[in-house]
A and B are shown apart, each in its own frame.
Chain A
Amino acid sequence: MADTQVSGRSPVFAKAIKEGFVAGALALGLFLLIVGFRTDQNIRNELVLTQRWGLLAIFVLIAAVGRFLLTAYITPWFAARSRTKRVAAVREPSSIRKYFPKIGLLLLFLYPFVVIGVLAAYNGSWMGGLQGSLKYVDNFGIQILIYVMLAWGLNIVVGLAGLLDLGYVAFYAVGAYSYALLSAQFGLSFWLLLPMAGIFAALWGIMLGFPVLRLRGDYLAIVTLAFGEIIRLVLINWTVVTKGTFGISGIAKATLFGIPFTAGDGGFAKTFGLPMSGVYYKIFLYYLILLLALLTAWVTIRLRRMPIGRAWEALREDEIACRSLGINTTTTKLTAFATGAMFGGFAGSFFAARQGFVSPESFVFLESAIILAIVVLGGMGSLVGIAVAAAVMIGGTELLRELEFLKRIFGNDFTPELYRMLLFGLAMIVVMVWKPRGFVGNREPSAFLHKRKMVSSEFTKEGHG
């Protein structure tokens, strides 16, 4: 290794310098007119040519130096790394990786208390800790977990059965509106409406499934996209029932087995002798969505070991072979649609209970796209990968709101929030280049004879719809 590096040093260096110069020249040619000159209007409406040589020099330098560094250091470093990695690939996964799901689960259960504890120590009072934790439990914890649950639900349809569904948010909307309307009209409780919302969404999944089953791939994606839009437009225009764009407000909150989270007598704080705070409800919601998400995961894990789960994955791999083995692909697809939709419905009713307000605004196509992006980014079929991706995507966008420090660099008229989506998009591109099959591309087999070996992503297929 050492020898090759010494002898390989100078040619690589020379090549890097050469490529650096070429990149610099190219950048000069490209940016000369774009960056180097700028036309401005002055007060008398005259066109004035401003020259910006300094800025041009910076652009050219960045291109030249960047190219030089890439060729001289970064590429050889990656090559060396992949060489050692190939040798190391045979090793057992490290213990952190092995126990990651368990550790992660423990952290998730402790999260609200850790946040409260840290903030209490920081503020010097319990109440300060409680109030301060509101943002972290609600904006980060609950928000991320809703998306984890939605993505795990969609994972059944997209990751396991390989049916590209771009209208998943429709089932989320069905769940949310089921709860909102039924609780407003009939005053039914959250615990009764939660399963009902899931069942309604599953029925909608079957209703969508029937006409689109003969479609595959791009066509299926387009039809599901249209379905999502139809549901949204119905919600907007059927004003008699849904109140249109005004949305439904004042939705009943969830209760802890009949104990409401209110300030008065019989409320949660009074019953347990705690000081009044809005954070209890948030913490309750946090654990509720955590349990719902875990239910999704548990059902997914169990179903994968059932014949139906294997049939889903077989469907993703090869539909014609499935039919030749006597598998009814129609019902198999429908069950995938219905199961995925059901979890979407659960998440929707939770969302309605948490917000206390639903409107069609919450169920736009972007939501579907984000959920799908989480599934793809996490690695289709992998629960851990998807959870990590949801944390990165949703937590990341929330974190990017906190870019106040950038104001110190770029001045006070700079609004960092506007760059949130740009950074977010860049990060997604980087991840997909770095890991094209998502964070966890490997597939865990559902049964084994001798030893459980992960199936490399190069063999699994994405499905054709």
Chain B
Amino acid sequence: MVSEVQVNSGPILRVERLSMKFGGLVAVNSLNFEAKRGAITALIGPNGAGKTTVFNCITGFYKPTEGMLTLTRQGGEQFLLERMSDFVITKKAKVARTFQNIRLFSGLTVLENLLVAQHNALMLSSGFTILGLLGLPTYKAAAAQAIEKARFWLEKINLVDRADDPAGDLPYGAQRRLEIARAMCTEPELLCLDEPAAGLNARESAELNKLLLDIRDETGTSILLIEHDMSVVMEISDHVVVLEYGTKIADGTPEMVKNDPKVIAAYLGVEDEEMEELIEQAEAAGADDITAAVDLLSTDAIHELEETKADVAPVELVATGPVAPLKPTSPSSAQRAAKPAVKSAAKPAAKRPSTAKAPAKPSSGAAEPVKKGATSNAIAAPRGGVPDRLIDIKGIGPVNERKLNEHGIYHFDQIAAWKKADIVAAEAYLAFDGRIAREDWIGQAKKLAKAASAKPAGNAKPAGKKTGGAK
């Protein structure tokens, strides 16, 4: 997948403990992720999750409240983006971006738009205008070269015929492509695209996929992408980071991410009342796993879904949906993921930010590798591939840690989110009686989870915390 031109194999962009606060509102909270060189990294999440804020921090339009953004260029030069102003980031660190609402120079022609993007190179060759004004041949050659480069990108985006028309006169899809071409004319090493497929039809977003893959493979440019259109994200991205309420909730390959119950819950949302109902039912039934209760409840939900057929959005998210008739990367996995998604979709009002509480995450999608009798919030693999050191909790030794891992418990926040039924279930497979409560595992786990999220290398935040919602 990674282009051969690459020499430097380290990550192009490392985001560490990035926080952005607007007054009391925490838009991004201690975010950590890496964008691999020569790869397409997608940043997804529900509306208001803080994706564009992350972009604005990376491209210097916002100064982050905390955190470190390290960009390593091909040659090994390192830039701390949080210390640079926006235009210097493009000029020196070679990061280019596009905007969620298209920002073309609508009164300039398509060609001129691409020439403006080559401003810095042309400024040099025109001797900061003075030599160019005197009509020196070096500038003429450079200008001709700039036009050739523009022509190259116009051919790539199929707009050569319209080169002399005003950019504002182009149809919407062409404007999106032109914005990408304009960003590419700055010769970036990292290209940040803010919802490039927004407002495109299926054919146009397929063209966009091809263009982005071309850019990655031919120029070796790394791409960071915000996108809601899952047909684009799942098809082309090499790595996906999921944000919710400014916190990373998942990070991995598209396959991993779309099967992550947290992601599904974040996108689909579970109603508060239903949550309480679920817990009550589970407690009444004395079940050690509320999955059964979820199933029970969601049969109704499925009927509702079929009857109303309202938004097919919840299914579209994971199953590459009816909006984009593109082949999903692996249909079987998509279907598998779709099932639990529908089940847990109590209401088809999906795009609303989730009010879910952590233990309600359906586990069936990921439950296969987990042993029977697992607690409700078991996951198939540790997030980010690194489990927390559960032995830090007093009372858990290496043996118990292994047992917990076998039952899908890897992180402090999972233990922290345990409910009564979960404790019963866990004590069953740990062969403990009452020790969990006595030693206050949950309390300890909560503290540790908090500490872990504050550390630079820390993993995701405690899942139970996000019920607070956006302030």
Contacts and interface: CB of A to CB of B under 8 A. Distances in A.
A299 B134 CA distance: 10
A456 interface: yes
Interface in A279-327: 299, 302-303, 305-308, 310-311, 313-314, 316-318, 320-327
Interface in B385-402: none
A447 B107 CA distance: 13
B99 to A, nearest CB: 7
A329 B87 contact: yes
17 contacts: A307-B118, A313-B112, A314-B108, A317-B107, A318-B104, A322-B87, A327-B116, A327-B119, A443-B107, A446-B115, A447-B115, A449-B151, A449-B160, A455-B107, A455-B166, A459-B107, A459-B166
Given A321-B104, A322-B116, 16 more contacts: A306-B122, A306-B132, A307-B126, A308-B126, A310-B115, A313-B112, A321-B103, A323-B90, A324-B59, A325-B87, A326-B119, A326-B120, A445-B108, A446-B112, A449-B163, A459-B166
Closest 5 CB pairs of A and B: A460-B107, A326-B90, A317-B105, A307-B122, A326-B91
Given A310-B112, A325-B96, A326-B87, A450 B107 contact: no
A317 B109 contact: no
B129 A306 contact: yes
B30 interface: no
B163 A459 contact: no
B97 interface: yes
B123 interface: yes
Contact of B111 (A305, A316, A328, A448): A448
Contacts of A407: none
B165 interface: yes
Contacts of A445: 108-109, 111-112, 164
Interface in B308-356: none
Nearest to A298: B133
B42 to A, nearest CB: 20
B105 A311 contact: no
B224 to A, nearest CB: 14
Contact of B186 (A325, A447, A451, A458): A325
Given A325-B116, A448-B111, A461 B90 contact: no
Chain B interface main SS type: helix
A450 B108 contact: no
Interface string B169-196: 1000000000000110010000000000
Q: Which residue of A302, A318, A449, A451 has the most chain B CB atoms within 10 A of its CB atom? A: A449
Contact of A452 (B119, B126, B164): B164
A52 interface: no
A447 B111 contact: yes
A447 B147 contact: yes
A55 B352 CA distance: 70
B90 A324 contact: yes
A310 B91 CA distance: 17
Q: Which residue of A299, A314, A325, A327 has the most chain B CB atoms within 10 A of its CB atom? A: A325
Contact of B129 (A307, A314, A320, A443): A307
A318 B119 contact: no
Contact of B166 (A314, A323, A456): A456
B168 interface: yes
Interface in B140-162: 143, 147, 150-151, 154, 160
Contacts of A322: 87, 116
Give the interface residue-count category, chain A. Answer: 35 or more
Interface residues of B, number: 49
B99 A324 contact: yes
Q: Which residue of A324, A329, A458 has the most chain B CB atoms within 10 A of its CB atom? A: A324
B366 interface: no
Contacts of B111: 445, 447-449
A318 B103 CA distance: 7
Interface string B81-122: 000001111110000110100011111110110011111101
B182 to A, nearest CB: 7
Contact of A299 (B91, B133, B151, B164): B133
A454 to B, nearest CB: 9
A451 to B, nearest CB: 6
A268 B86 CA distance: 59
Given A324-B96, A449-B160, A455 B119 contact: no
B121 to A, nearest CB: 8
A303 B99 CA distance: 29
Contacts of A448: 109, 111, 163-164
Contacts of A323: 61, 86-87, 90
Nearest to B161: A450
Contact of A328 (B87, B151, B165): B87
Q: Which residue of B88, B123, B139 has the most chain A CB atoms within 10 A of its CB atom? A: B123
Contacts of B87: 322-329
A85 interface: no
Interface in B60-90: 61, 86-90
Given A310-B119, A323-B87, A326-B90, A450 B105 contact: no
Contacts of B160: 449
Contacts of A311: 116, 119
A453 B162 CA distance: 11
A314 B105 CA distance: 6
Nearest to A443: B107
A324 B86 contact: yes
